[in-house]
Structure 1
Amino acid sequence: MLLLRRAPTVILVLYSCILLCESKTVNEVRHHGRKFPDGFLFGAATASYQIEGGWDADGKTENIWDHMTHNEPCSTDDCLNGDVADNSYNLYKRDVEMARELGLDFYRFSISWARILPTSFPDKINEAGVQYYNNLIDELLKYNIEPVVTIYHWDLPQKLQEMGGWTNSFITDWFADYSRVLFEQFGDRVKYSVYWITINEPREVCYQGYGTNTKAPRLNITGMAEYMCAKNLLVAHAKVYHIYDQEFRATQGGTIGITLSAQWYEPENENHAEAAETLLQFEWGEYAHPIFSKTGDFPPVMKEKVAAKSAAQGFPRSRLPEFTAEEIEMVRGSSDFFGLNHYTTYLVYSNESLEYDAPSYYDDIEAKLYHPNHWSGGASVWLKNIPWGFYKLLTKIREDYDNPPVYITENGFSTRGGLDDDDRIIYYRGYLNEMLNAIEEGSDIRMYTAWSLMDNFEWMRGYTERFGLYEVDYESPERTRTPRKSAFVYKEIVRTRALDFNYEPDTTVMTIDEGH
């Protein structure tokens, strides 16, 4: 049988139809007007570097994204940076007003390490930075919108990067010290209904920033640096979890966990099921297994493959660092919930040929992933609209990790701009529908977060890709925010706690429901 990646389009279409029909057989699309469970929460998310601006305002110091975009301006697609971005440092009240317009239960945002600790360490706390986040939190609480606070969303202080960043094992203490400052400064306020997220998307931090060059700091040392980063990051996260659990939980009553990025990896056919499982264990099992499995530690297949490759390549030990027994126990169970950022699905086939440099991450995996050409997607080349993959992912999390509470902390779709964004609406409805299928089958999913509240600096893509429910006019000094059609649809979903595929909004005016 010819491999499907080389097959004619008609065969690929037929295979996709089989996959879709299989999905519908397992979890058929239910009737319109599907209700969400009682107590289910809806929100939207942003991240500090992507929206705040004020890159050097009021004592804030340089982070790795400031450093990269200032020293290599065209490292981003449009040669732009986050110096001003959405100017949320000054316009946070408008951001909260948008959350009110949508009727959100919560707003997820992140805190800038370099804005709080200008030296990177707790010897000096920047009061202006603390005041900014106090103002934002107070504004949210004023309107009964719960803050979901991400401690680290990719913007490491440049000083720490120059000392090795996430490949330096001392960062476990640096991150713990920083996190303790946040608990002390904001825990009383956030305790209204505390949700702390320690780290956003470890895989992107480590693989893209350290293994390759697609995120700052762009070290591009694959097969080594991403593994060092992964171990240190997991230990740092666990330290912070236990600090909160032992020192703050009793008085602040909060919830703390980590957010992982996890896409679905579908085998190209039954002959590639093992390759798809291996890829999955490397891509997000690397972080989920140490925390959520009963045994802890890195996934067995990952340990075995990296050790074997390392030995064959002449290394005296595995390139994948080992956890001590104490570290395994410290990391295992160190999250109150499974924070999940999910966007898309890939097809996977085994690939043991020497297509990759060795040592390297994908040479260790011996599998490749791709999107069929006919799959429809967004402005981002990696983002295809494949809702059934979301269902399969949520089901696997339930089955593999004893059905942990799942918080969907990001899910969204990119366009090139414009207020009529029907493709985004189709995406949201499809993914929410599959999430409801998983809930009906027993998955313990408790919240859903749209990415993003508004357009923002989309990392290496600059401002060329737009994920916002609200469009931001970057030509305007006021950074005017205007609701897209999807904002009206999302508002109705939040208002009715139901998913109605037939709803067509009146987009003439966005108002605030004062009853919220």
Structure 2
Amino acid sequence: MIATGVVVWFALLGCVWGQAHNSFPEGFMFGAATAAYQFGHYRFSISWPRVMPTGDVTDINQDGIDYYNKLIDALLADNITPLVTMYHWDLPQPLQDLGGWANPIMVDYFEDYARVLYNKFGDRVKWWITFNEPLTFVAGYESGGCTPPQVNAPGVGKYLVAHTVLKSHARAYHLYDENYRDTQNGQVGITLNTGWLLAANGTEQELQLVEYTMQSTLGWFAHPIYSKEGDYPAILKERIANESRAEGRYRSRLPEFDEYWINYIRGSADFFGLNHYGSTVLSAVDGGVQELIDPSWPKSPTSWLLYTPFGMRPLLNWMKQEYDNPTIIITENGWADEGGLNDTIRSNYYLSYLAGVVEAINLDNVTVIGHTSWSIIDNFEWASGFTIKFGLYSVDYDDASRPRTPKVSAGVLADIISSNQIPEETFEALHADPYYQMYYPSSE
């Protein structure tokens, strides 16, 4: 089990207009209690090699199936709903030996894998995420990145992999839609990660850079699925085609979808899973572009994570406009530090980011139905190992029993859930943020 998260669930199909601006929507759903607070849903991933070691449908590991059955049954016994990710970057080695996600045959293998999961767990699992953060794991086929298989194919590998991943996602979605939805009554989506970019001066150069960056990262995967027209974003297709010609290539490095695949992929999601941690301020001065980091922002031990709550609301609004107000579940959001129980920065991080979510729902009619904290416990964070901590609970890994101790942030989230709202002073602080004021100049 790789991905662990806790989900606060919003039971709504839109904003309840006229309610208090600092409250979550009516019908907010809570589940069974943990040590400090209540959550209704738990997000985890299934390891493909654990249930199908070779990746082939003829090789199913019953011990792996039993493990996840016990986990799912235990969650349901405590009235906790599983939110299950099919693929969080661990691929059976025999499939990697075939070329991994760069090989189009993976579409068939992933469909077989999805069928096994639906057959084994779909009677109890009602929320499925096909892939977690493909934008991140395709880097393993580009220039190494932090994920396997460390293939060095700059400008080519990631586009081949993304093409296969999008087809695989759509195949898993349609498999469920055509064969399981009527009896299992579940939902299938995908989780995409993105930051937000703020144009510091609002110049045309900055705004164009913001738009291209959003389309070439989030839009690269979201546009084929969630846009009305489908396919890759036009700006991305044009840019890569032009660059490919300039490089002397006979075809674009970005593969093309034919009409069948455009239509097959478009609309292949019941919800939009969003992983969001921070935003970037871009400044274009004298023809150069630089990223601005405000020295007043709290510091995280990992360079990619910035404390920038001003970006949550405009990002959600961009998604609303770009993809016709999809149903959004924030599937990851959280803060890293170096440890300690008095995690005031993490507490304020959740308060301020959730304030942006509440305003996006109540003031902008963005359809957000859930928020997932990363993570419930301090866990193994890829190349950083145990050196950085994201958990609401501290874990003593030197003790064989791995005791958990709630941090201050656990209590803060408990208060949010029990009161069903964000404190007024959090909104006042958010409204006073000069970067937030660039989007929303007057308090609302």
| TM-score above 0.5 | yes
**Structure 1 residue 381 displacement after superposition:** 1.0
- In the alignment, the residues of structure 2 paired with residue 460 and residue 219 of structure 1 have an alpha-carbon distance, to the nearest angstrom, of 17
Contact preservation (8 Å) 1:122, 1:177: yes
- In the alignment, the residues of structure 1 paired with residue 91 and residue 132 of structure 2 have an alpha-carbon distance, to the nearest angstrom, of 12
2:304 aligned residue (366, 376, 382) = 382
2:374 matches 1:451: yes
Task: Give the share of equivalent positions with the same residue, in percent.
Answer: 43
Q: Spell out, residue by residue over 1:33-91, the C-alpha distance to the aligned partner (whole angstroms, 9 max, x if none).
A: 93210234579xxxxxxxxxxxxxxxxxxxxxxxxxxxxxxxxxxxxxxxxxxxxxxxx
SS at match of 1:136: helix
What amino acid is aligned across from residue 361 of structure 2 in structure 1?
I
Partner of 2:43: 108
Matches within 5 A, 1:306-321: 306-321=240-255
SS at match of 2:369: strand
Q: Spell out, residue by residue over 1:393-450, the C-alpha distance to the aligned partner (whole angstroms, 9 max, x if none).
A: 0011111111111111111000101111000001000000011110012001101111
SS at match of 2:130: strand
**Structure 1 residue 352 displacement after superposition:** 12
SS at match of 1:139: helix
Count residues in correspondence: 405
Partner of 2:167: 235
SS at match of 1:34: coil
- In the alignment, the residues of structure 2 paired with residue 97 and residue 379 of structure 1 have an alpha-carbon distance, to the nearest angstrom, of 31
What amino acid is aligned across from residue 401 of structure 2 in structure 1?
E
1:135 aligned residue (67, 70, 83) = 70
After superposing the two structures, state which structure 1 stretch, 108-117 or 476-485, moved more: 476-485
Matches within 5 A, 1:58-457: 98=34, 101-190=36-125, 194-207=126-139, 210-271=142-203, 272-348=206-282, 369=291, 371-440=293-362, 441-457=364-380
Q: CA 1:41–1:153 in 2, change beyond 3 Å: closer, same or farther?
A: farther
**Structure 1 residue 376 displacement after superposition:** 2.6
SS at match of 1:108: strand
- In the alignment, the residues of structure 2 paired with residue 419 and residue 401 of structure 1 have an alpha-carbon distance, to the nearest angstrom, of 40
Q: CA 1:444–1:222 in 2, change beyond 3 Å: closer, same or farther?
A: same
- Divergent runs of 4+, >6 A: 350-353
- In the alignment, the residues of structure 2 paired with residue 367 and residue 309 of structure 1 have an alpha-carbon distance, to the nearest angstrom, of 20
Q: CA 1:168–1:434 in 2, change beyond 3 Å: closer, same or farther?
A: same
Partner of 1:20: none
1:479 aligned residue (402, 405, 410) = 402
What amino acid is aligned across from residue 204 of structure 1 in structure 2?
T
Contact preservation (8 Å) 2:141, 2:157: no
Contact preservation (8 Å) 1:210, 1:229: no
What amino acid is aligned across from residue 249 of structure 2 in structure 1?
F
**Structure 1 residue 180 displacement after superposition:** 0.6
**Structure 1 residue 189 displacement after superposition:** 1.8
SS at match of 1:409: strand
- In the alignment, the residues of structure 1 paired with residue 87 and residue 247 of structure 2 have an alpha-carbon distance, to the nearest angstrom, of 35
Partner of 1:507: none
SS at match of 1:402: coil
2:398 matches 1:464: no
- In the alignment, the residues of structure 1 paired with residue 84 and residue 211 of structure 2 have an alpha-carbon distance, to the nearest angstrom, of 32
What amino acid is aligned across from residue 282 of structure 1 in structure 2?
S
**Structure 1 residue 154 displacement after superposition:** 1.2
SS at match of 1:499: coil
**Structure 1 residue 370 displacement after superposition:** 5.5
**Structure 1 residue 382 displacement after superposition:** 1.0
- In the alignment, the residues of structure 2 paired with residue 128 and residue 345 of structure 1 have an alpha-carbon distance, to the nearest angstrom, of 42
Partner of 2:442: none
Q: CA 1:186–1:371 in 2, change beyond 3 Å: closer, same or farther?
A: same
**Structure 1 residue 214 displacement after superposition:** 2.4
- In the alignment, the residues of structure 2 paired with residue 400 and residue 225 of structure 1 have an alpha-carbon distance, to the nearest angstrom, of 27
After superposing the two structures, state which structure 1 stretch, 474-483 or 228-237, moved more: 474-483
- In the alignment, the residues of structure 1 paired with residue 285 and residue 133 of structure 2 have an alpha-carbon distance, to the nearest angstrom, of 26
What amino acid is aligned across from residue 452 of structure 1 in structure 2?
S
**Structure 1 residue 303 displacement after superposition:** 0.4
- In the alignment, the residues of structure 1 paired with residue 195 and residue 140 of structure 2 have an alpha-carbon distance, to the nearest angstrom, of 15
Q: CA 1:374–1:439 in 2, change beyond 3 Å: closer, same or farther?
A: same
- In the alignment, the residues of structure 1 paired with residue 27 and residue 150 of structure 2 have an alpha-carbon distance, to the nearest angstrom, of 42
SS at match of 1:490: helix
- In the alignment, the residues of structure 1 paired with residue 382 and residue 37 of structure 2 have an alpha-carbon distance, to the nearest angstrom, of 26
**Structure 1 residue 373 displacement after superposition:** 4.5
Contact preservation (8 Å) 2:54, 2:93: no
SS at match of 2:122: helix
Contact preservation (8 Å) 1:212, 1:222: no
SS at match of 1:318: coil
What amino acid is aligned across from residue 274 of structure 2 in structure 1?
L
**Structure 1 residue 335 displacement after superposition:** 0.5
**Structure 1 residue 269 displacement after superposition:** 2.2
TM-score w.r.t. the length of structure 2 is 0.86
Contact preservation (8 Å) 1:311, 1:318: yes
- In the alignment, the residues of structure 2 paired with residue 316 and residue 284 of structure 1 have an alpha-carbon distance, to the nearest angstrom, of 27
- In the alignment, the residues of structure 2 paired with residue 450 and residue 280 of structure 1 have an alpha-carbon distance, to the nearest angstrom, of 23
Q: CA 1:40–1:208 in 2, change beyond 3 Å: closer, same or farther?
A: farther
Which consecutive residues of structure 2, in runs of 5 or more, have no partner in the other structure? 1-18, 427-444
Partner of 2:24: 36
- In the alignment, the residues of structure 2 paired with residue 343 and residue 463 of structure 1 have an alpha-carbon distance, to the nearest angstrom, of 19
Q: Spell out, residue by residue over 1:485-512, the C-alpha distance to the aligned partner (whole angstroms, 9 max, x if none).
A: 1011112212222223679xxxxxxxxx
What amino acid is aligned across from residue 127 of structure 2 in structure 1?
Y
Contact preservation (8 Å) 1:275, 1:349: no
- In the alignment, the residues of structure 1 paired with residue 374 and residue 337 of structure 2 have an alpha-carbon distance, to the nearest angstrom, of 12
